[in-house]
Amino acid sequence: MRVASTLMPLSMLVYGPLADMIPIEWLLLATGSLLVVQSPFMVSHRALVEAGKPLPVPET
């Protein structure tokens, strides 16, 4: 959660002024395309897949 709360203000600092120069639609298309390209690499990365698995629930 800390990463998300840190990156949100940073992304506003970058994309706010950038949106004044480039139309929002182009930014959405560019970032969405990058996510589509990045997704197969993220899914096939073993360490990331292992890190995303839920922790076992201890029995009480």
Could you say which residues of the chain have pLDDT below 50? none
Q: How far is CA 54 from the centre of its chain?
A: 19
User: Is 49:43 a contact under the CB 8 Å cutoff?
Assistant: yes
What is the value of pTM for the model shown? 0.62
pLDDT for residue 36: 96
